[in-house]
Chains A and B, each alone.
Chain A
Amino acid sequence: MAKTKTGRSGGSLAAFFARRLVQAIPVLIGIVLFSFVILHMAPGDAIDVMAGEAGTGDAAYMAQLREKYGLDQPLYIQLARYGVQIAQLDLGYSIRNNMPVRDLILQRVGPTMMLMSVSIVVSVALGVLFGALAAIRRNSWLDDLISLVALLAYAMPIFWIGLMLIILFSVTLGILPSGGFIDVARQNVSPLGRVMDVLWHLVLPAMTLSLFYFAIYTRLMRASMLEVMGLDYIRTARAKGLGAAKVTLRHVVRNALLPIVTMLGMQTASLLGGAVVVETVFNWPGLGRLTYDAVFQRDYSLLIGILLMSSVMVIIINMLVDLAYSWLDPRIVAR
Chain B
Amino acid sequence: MSGALNLWRLFRRKRTAVIGLVVFALIVAAALLAPVLYPEDPGDMVAAPLLWPGEDMAYPLGTDPLGRDIAAGIFHGARSALMIGGISTLVALAIGITVGALSGYYGGWVNDLLMRITEMFQTMPQFILAVVLVAIFGPALSSIITALALVSWPPVARLVRAEVMSLREREFVQSCYVIGMSERSIIFGQILPNCLTPIIVTASIMVATAILTEAGLSFLGLGDPNVVTWGAMIGAGRESLRSAWFLVAEPGLAIILVVLSLNLVGEGLNDALNPKLKMR
Q: Which residues of A come within 8 Å of B, CB atoms?
A: 26-27, 30-31, 34, 38-39, 41-43, 151-152, 154-160, 163-164, 166-167, 171, 226-227, 230, 269-270, 272-274, 276-277, 280, 291-292, 294-296, 298, 300, 303-304, 306-307, 310-311, 314-315
Selected from A27, A38, A159, A295, the residue in CB contact (under 8 A) with B123 is A27
Known A303-B136, A315-B123; contact A163-B220, beta-carbon cutoff 8 A: no
Known A42-B136, A295-B222, A310-B124; contact A154-B234, beta-carbon cutoff 8 A: no
**Contact between B120 and A276, CB atoms less than 8 A apart:** no
Known A30-B117, A295-B220; contact A311-B124, beta-carbon cutoff 8 A: yes
**Contact between A157 and B127, CB atoms less than 8 A apart:** no
- Looking at chain B's contact residues, the main secondary structure is helix
Please provide the chain B residues from 223 to 280 with a CB less than 8 Å away from any CB of chain A in the complex. Answer: 231, 234, 238, 241-242, 245, 248-249, 252, 255-256, 259-260, 263-264, 280
Selected from A43, A166, A226, A304, the residue in CB contact (under 8 A) with B132 is A304
**Contact between B263 and A154, CB atoms less than 8 A apart:** yes
Please provide the chain B residues from 14 to 69 with a CB less than 8 Å away from any CB of chain A in the complex. Answer: none
Q: Assess whether B183 is interfacial by the CB under 8 Å rule.
A: no
Known A155-B256, A164-B252; contact A291-B120, beta-carbon cutoff 8 A: no
Q: Which residues of B contact A30 (CB under 8 A)?
A: 116-117, 120
Q: Which residues of A contact B7 (CB under 8 A)?
A: none
Nearest chain B CB to A270's CB is how many angstroms away? 6
**Contact between B252 and A155, CB atoms less than 8 A apart:** no
Q: Assess whether B96 is interfacial by the CB under 8 Å rule.
A: no
Please provide the chain B residues from 118 to 160 with a CB less than 8 Å away from any CB of chain A in the complex. Answer: 119-120, 122-129, 131-133, 135-138
Give bound CA distance, A167 to B242, whole Å: 7
Q: Assess whether B75 is interfacial by the CB under 8 Å rule.
A: no
Please provide the chain B residues from 187 to 246 with a CB less than 8 Å away from any CB of chain A in the complex. Answer: 208, 212, 215-216, 219-222, 231, 234, 238, 241-242, 245
Can you show 22 pairs from A to B with CB atoms below 8 A apart?
A30-B116, A30-B117, A34-B124, A38-B136, A42-B137, A151-B260, A151-B264, A156-B252, A156-B259, A160-B248, A163-B234, A166-B241, A226-B280, A270-B125, A270-B127, A272-B127, A273-B126, A277-B219, A295-B131, A295-B135, A295-B221, A303-B136
Nearest chain A CB to B202's CB is how many angstroms away? 14
Q: Which residues of B come within 8 Å of A, CB atoms?
A: 116-117, 119-120, 122-129, 131-133, 135-138, 208, 212, 215-216, 219-222, 231, 234, 238, 241-242, 245, 248-249, 252, 255-256, 259-260, 263-264, 280
Q: Which residues of A contact B127 (CB under 8 A)?
A: 270, 272-274, 276-277
**Contact between B131 and A163, CB atoms less than 8 A apart:** no
Give bound CA distance, A157 to B234, whole Å: 11
Nearest-CB residue, chain A, relative to B136: A42
Nearest chain A CB to B76's CB is how many angstroms away? 18
Q: Which residues of A contact B231 (CB under 8 A)?
A: 157
Selected from A31, A155, A306, A310, the residue in CB contact (under 8 A) with B260 is A155
- Tell me how many residue pairs across A and B have CB atoms closer than 8 Å: 140
Selected from B123, B126, B138, B216, the residue in CB contact (under 8 A) with A31 is B123
Nearest chain A CB to B110's CB is how many angstroms away? 15
**Contact between A269 and B245, CB atoms less than 8 A apart:** no
**Contact between A156 and B120, CB atoms less than 8 A apart:** no
**Contact between B260 and A157, CB atoms less than 8 A apart:** no
**Contact between B132 and A155, CB atoms less than 8 A apart:** no
Selected from B125, B135, B222, the residue in CB contact (under 8 A) with A298 is B135
Give bound CA distance, A310 to B123, whole Å: 9
Nearest-CB residue, chain A, relative to B222: A295
Q: Which residues of B contact A41 (CB under 8 A)?
A: 136-137
Q: Which residues of B contact A270 (CB under 8 A)?
A: 125-127
Nearest chain A CB to B128's CB is how many angstroms away? 5
Most buried by B among A154, A157, A158: A157
Give bound CA distance, A159 to B234, whole Å: 9
Give bound CA distance, A304 to B215, whole Å: 22
Give bound CA distance, A31 to B215, whole Å: 26
